[in-house]
């Protein structure tokens, strides 16, 4: 009997919560409904995409012009909805994704976790990176550097192998592709491509840059593990070899570091998640104002009271 009374009491409280006209209870119902809808959408996205997060927002210009700041990108498992291809694979099969060969992946740099709020001693708070997978390097192989002298102006249709010569000008080792006439006089200028690494300073003279072509330079240190070489379409060089504060030098991307691949992007919609706290405040404020408006409408306008006075004859 006691258990039955307790159930009846809980049911009564649920009914009271659902039917209460108090503004605070009504607001709580609206917030719970909003949470349920958002949770349902998140669950549906996870089931469809097979990964989490299922959507990411572009926060930088590293993928311009194929992805822009504020774009909302839908992320799926790497091998879902089509075979995964790197830039090299895509070029050999003439398969393009987001304006260039190969797939764009979302990965955790050096395996770092990426929560919205950093948690001391648990996670670094480093955001995931969304860049194109250029190729896959094996363990012990030199890490190649892909270079695009044109950045967001256009995407190179090919990356030519580049080598370092024995020629040095003004402290820079001259890079070249194809053949180099060592007797030819080279004068450095502003249009030259300058590269500085831990191994020294290098320059690819503008006169040796072929129109439209990119370059790949296999000068890196041997990789300690197999992984993908990645690059932002708008970046001058690939990620591996660059450094991030707190992580050090970026390594080739292991399979387990890959969150997923980009399926499609929706322009500007990602601006909402970028300003999520402001959006939440606005939504809650609108809900409160709407609830107060309904309460005032139900009560009706207050009738002015007439003052008692003597009647004049």
CA-based torsion, 247, 100, 48, 77: positive or negative: negative
pLDDT above 60: residue 312: no
The whole-angstrom distance between residue 259's C-alpha and the CA centroid of its chain comes to: 11
* DSSP secondary structure, 47-97, as one string: HHH-SSSSEEE--SSTTTTTS-TT-EEEEE-TTSSS----HHHHHHHT-EE
pLDDT for the residue numbered 124: 47
Higher pLDDT pick, 24 / 253: 253
Instruction: For residues 257-262, give the mean pLDDT.
Output: 95
Kindly report the average pLDDT of the chain as a whole number: 81
Q: What is the pLDDT of residues 66-80, one digit of tens each?
A: 999 989 999 999 999
Higher pLDDT pick, 132 / 273: 132
Lowest-confidence segment of 33-42, 90-99, 103-112 by average pLDDT: 33-42
pLDDT for the residue numbered 62: 93
Q: What is the pLDDT of residues 271-296, one digit of tens each?
A: 776 556 666 777 777 877 877 777 77
In the chain, alpha helices (H): 2-19, 23-49, 87-93, 271-274, 276-299
User: How crowded is residue 277: how many other Cβ atoms within 10 Å of its Cβ?
Assistant: 7
Gap between the Cα atoms of 33 and 22, Å rounded: 17
Question: pLDDT confidence of 108, banded at 50, 70, 90?
Answer: very high
Question: pLDDT confidence of 120, banded at 50, 70, 90?
Answer: very low
Which range in 35-49, 134-148, 188-202 is most confidently predicted, on average pLDDT? Answer: 134-148
The whole-angstrom distance between residue 78's C-alpha and the CA centroid of its chain comes to: 15
pLDDT above 90: residue 256: yes
Could you give the 3-state DSSP secondary structure of residue 142? Answer: strand
Which range in 12-21, 120-129, 219-228 is most confidently predicted, on average pLDDT? Answer: 219-228
Query: Phi and psi for 263 in degrees, rounded to 5?
Result: -95, -55
pLDDT for the residue numbered 273: 64
pLDDT for the residue numbered 8: 59
CA-based torsion, 113, 239, 172, 191: positive or negative: negative
The proportion of the chain whose per-residue pLDDT surpasses 70, expressed as a percent, equals 83
Question: pLDDT confidence of 305, banded at 50, 70, 90?
Answer: low
pLDDT for the residue numbered 284: 73
Which range in 30-39, 102-111, 282-291 is most confidently predicted, on average pLDDT? Answer: 102-111
- Strands of the sheet containing 214-217, edge to edge, are 145-147, 214-217, 159-161
Q: What is the pLDDT of residues 186-240, one digit of tens each?
A: 788 888 888 877 678 899 888 888 888 899 988 778 888 999 999 999 998 899 9
Instruction: For residues 13-40, give the mean pLDDT.
Output: 77
Are 182 and 167 contacting, i.e. CB atoms less than 8 angstroms apart? Answer: yes
pLDDT for the residue numbered 13: 75
Gap between the Cα atoms of 231 and 118, Å rounded: 25
Q: What is the pLDDT of residues 157-187, one digit of tens each?
A: 899 999 888 888 889 999 888 777 655 677 8
Can you list the domains of the chain with their CATH numbers?
Answer: 2-44+274-296 (no CATH), 51-142+225-270 (2.10.109.10)
Query: 59: closest CA among 301, 271, 305, 311?
Result: 271
Instruction: Give Cα separations from 270 to 59, 101, 114, 178, 286 (angstroms).
Output: 9, 24, 18, 44, 21
Instruction: For residues 108-132, give the mean pLDDT.
Output: 68
Query: Phi and psi for 201 in degrees, rounded to 5?
Result: -110, 135
pLDDT above 60: residue 257: yes
Instruction: For residues 24-42, give the mean pLDDT.
Output: 80
Beta strand 214-217 pairing with 159-161: parallel
Gap between the Cα atoms of 40 and 48, Å rounded: 12
């Amino acid at each position: 009997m006691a258990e039955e009374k307790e159930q009846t009491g809980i049911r009564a409280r649920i009914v009271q919560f659902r039917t209460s006209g108090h503004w605070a209870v009504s607001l709580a119902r609206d917030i719970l409904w909003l949470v349920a809808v958002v949770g349902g959408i998140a669950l549906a996205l996870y089931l469809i995409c097979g990964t989490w997060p299922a959507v990411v927002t572009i926060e930088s210009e590293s993928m311009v012009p194929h992805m822009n700041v504020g774009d909302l990108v839908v992320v799926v498992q790497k091998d879902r909805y089509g075979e995964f291809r790197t830039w090299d694979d895509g070029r050999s099969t003439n398969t393009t994704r987001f304006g260039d060969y190969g797939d764009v992946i979302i990965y955790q740099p050096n395996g770092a976790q990426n929560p919205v709020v950093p948690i001391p001693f648990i996670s670094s708070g480093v955001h995931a990176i969304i860049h194109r997978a250029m190729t896959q390097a094996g363990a012990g192989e030199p890490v190649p550097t892909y270079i695009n002298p044109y950045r967001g102006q256009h995407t190179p249709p090919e990356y030519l192998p580049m080598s370092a010569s024995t020629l040095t000008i003004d402290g820079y080792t001259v890079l070249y592709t194809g053949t180099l006439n060592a007797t030819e006089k080279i004068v450095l200028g502003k249009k030259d491509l300058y590269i500085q690494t831990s191994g020294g300073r290098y320059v690819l003279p503008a006169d040796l840059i072929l129109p439209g072509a990119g370059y790949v330079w296999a000068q890196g240190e041997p990789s300690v593990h197999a992984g993908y070489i990645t690059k932002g379409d708008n970046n001058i060089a690939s990620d591996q070899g660059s450094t991030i504060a707190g992580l050090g030098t970026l390594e080739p991307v292991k399979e387990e570091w890959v969150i997923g691949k980009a399926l499609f992007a929706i322009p500007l919609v990602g601006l909402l998640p970028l300003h999520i706290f402001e959006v939440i405040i606005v939504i809650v404020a609108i809900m409160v104002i709407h609830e107060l408006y309904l309460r005032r409408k139900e009560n009706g306008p207050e009738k002015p009271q007439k003052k008692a006075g003597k009647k004049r004859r």
